[in-house]
Amino acid sequence: MTTITLENVTKRFEDVTAVESIDLEVEDGEFLVVVGPSGCGKSTTLRMLAGLESVSEGRIYIGGRDVTGLDPKDRNVSMVFQNYALYPHMTAERNMTFGMKSAGSFSDDEIERRVSEAAETLGIGDLLARKPAELSGGERQRVALGRALVRDPEVFLMDEPLSNLDAKLRVQMRAELAKLHGELETTTVYVTHDQTEAMTLGDRVVVMNDGEIQQVDTAQYLYDYPNNQFVAGFIGEPAMNMVGVEVEGTDGETVVSHPGFRIRLPETDELRRFDAGRAVLGVRPEDLSIVETDGDGADTFVATVTVTEPLGDSLLLYCEVEGDELQVQSAPRSAIEPGDPVTLTVDRDRLHLFDRETRAAVYHSDGTRARTPEVTATAETDD
């Protein structure tokens, strides 16, 4: 059983706070992905787990053991680095065995057995005699994974391991990593800035910004019920549209009002309690659609197309409506040109409202209760 617990972990570099009071629980065998923009504190968090950075405040437990002050080598973790960190003067095999041999706690037979097992798992058996300079990026990454594997650690830590690979190889390695984790079921913490990687790999995903955890949940839940405007904008490609609106309640019906449109909102308890008047409406590009009416119908409105981006499987339209821009994902191969007016409608079950001041989600239109950051940070998984 290898769980990881971070309790109130803070990291300060002189007067800069890189990580602020993080509480996080990683379950045994879980693949947890930490995602966020550059400088959000995700790598620092991982390095604190590895013991490569000291902790300013708080405690870290691995498998129930307090490792806060322990040296990296005493934590029984393996780390895979973005630049692979292979020793350039050693062969792939020596790279994998060097640490074990130096540590001195493994017999030669044991080391040999583990190397051949790892080489077989990763398909690098015929590369063992080569030096890193003679390997391609993908092969180097496999060797780096092999080095992490042979030590049979309690925890794998991965710091953007796929970032140096080209796009095609990255997708391939992503699938292999997922498969590998399925076989080994070792608790893994994986850091990336790529939200697609985070969504596809993680059992759960931690979204970080400015040194703080914004939300921890399964990928789908993050996508469907973002906790705040940051998560809503960061998760999903193309990003969610955010438009400032007035929320008006008349005749038992709540309407969001914008100079260019009025949309009726499905009633929920939260909406009834919401009395701020102004809010930010969030709607994903695929939840907006073009309708073939003249725009007079309920919940429809007219916008002008400014840019079209054919993506192959869909056509992304940038539409302007009374000074605000909305991205709309529409069917491919349509004859829409920039300058054309289009009539749009929304999927009324897929609307979100965010508080203008706190930027927190206050309403999801399908009735799912918007969770506060305090709740989501320690939420149970939904699967």
Contacting residue, 1, 14, 15, 102, with another protein by CB under 8 A:
102
Query: Should residue 77 be labelled a site residue for another protein when binding is judged by CB under 8 A?
Result: yes
Quick one: three-class SS letters along the chain?
CCCEEEEEEEEEECCEEEEEEEEEEECCCCEEEEECCCCCCHHHHHHHHHCCCCCCEEEEEECCEECCCCCHHHCCEEEECCCCCCCCCCCHHHHHHHHHHHHCCCCHHHHHHHHHHHHHHHCCHHHCCCCHHHCCHHHHHHHHHHHHHHCCCCEEEEECCCCCCCHHHHHHHHHHHHHHHHHHCCEEEEEECCHHHHHHHCCEEEEEECCEEEEEECHHHHHHCCCEHHHHHHCCCCCCEEEEEEEEEECCEEEEEECCEEEEECCCHHHHHCCCCEEEEEECHHHEEECCCCCCCCCEEEEEEEEEEECCCCEEEEEEECCEEEEEEECCCCCCCCCCEEEEEECCCCEEEECCCCCEEEEECCCCCCCCHHHHHCCCCCC
Interacting residues with another protein between 43 and 62 (CB under 8 A): 50-52
Query: Should residue 107 be labelled a site residue for another protein when binding is judged by CB under 8 A?
Result: no
User: Judged by CB, which is closer to another protein: 79, or 216?
Assistant: 79
Query: Should residue 111 be labelled a site residue for another protein when binding is judged by CB under 8 A?
Result: no
Query: Should residue 79 be labelled a site residue for another protein when binding is judged by CB under 8 A?
Result: yes
User: Judged by CB, which is closer to another protein: 70, or 316?
Assistant: 70
Query: Should residue 140 be labelled a site residue for another protein when binding is judged by CB under 8 A?
Result: no
User: Judged by CB, which is closer to another protein: 106, or 225?
Assistant: 106
User: Judged by CB, which is closer to another protein: 143, or 213?
Assistant: 143
Query: Should residue 364 be labelled a site residue for another protein when binding is judged by CB under 8 A?
Result: no
User: Judged by CB, which is closer to another protein: 86, or 303?
Assistant: 86
Shortest Å distance, C-beta 54 to another protein: 11
Query: Should residue 100 be labelled a site residue for another protein when binding is judged by CB under 8 A?
Result: yes
Query: Should residue 13 be labelled a site residue for another protein when binding is judged by CB under 8 A?
Result: no
Query: Should residue 142 be labelled a site residue for another protein when binding is judged by CB under 8 A?
Result: no
Contacting residue, 98, 239, 286, 360, with another protein by CB under 8 A:
98
Shortest Å distance, C-beta 85 to another protein: 4
Q: Which residues bind another protein (CB under 8 A)?
A: 50-52, 71-73, 77-79, 81, 83, 85, 87-89, 98-100, 102-103, 133, 147, 151
